[in-house]
Amino acid sequence: MGILDSIKTKLFGKKEAAEPEPAAPEAPEAPAAPKTTSLTEKLAAAGEKLKEVAAEPVDIEMILDAAVKAKGVNLNWRQSIVDLMKALDLDSSLAARKELAADLNYTGPHADGTAEKNIWLHKQLMKTLVECGGKLPKELVK
Mean pLDDT by 10 residues, the chain (142 residues): 91 63 53 59 59 74 96 95 97 95 89 88 96 94 84
pLDDT of residue 27: 54
What's the longest Cα–Cα distance across the chain?
71
Quick check: 126 and 136 in contact, CB under 8 A?
Answer: yes
**Residue closest to 55 by CA, chosen among 136, 133, 126, 137:** 133
In three-state form (DSSP H/G/I as H, E/B as E, the rest C), the secondary structure along 36-67 is CCCHHHHHHHHHHHHHHHCCCCEEHHHHHHHH
pLDDT of residue 18: 42
What single-letter amino acid sits at 61? E
What single-letter amino acid sits at 13? G
Confidence (pTM): 0.70
Quick check: 113 and 94 in contact, CB under 8 A?
Answer: yes
pLDDT of residue 58: 95
- Pairing assessment for the beta strands 58-59 and 134-135 based on DSSP bridges: parallel
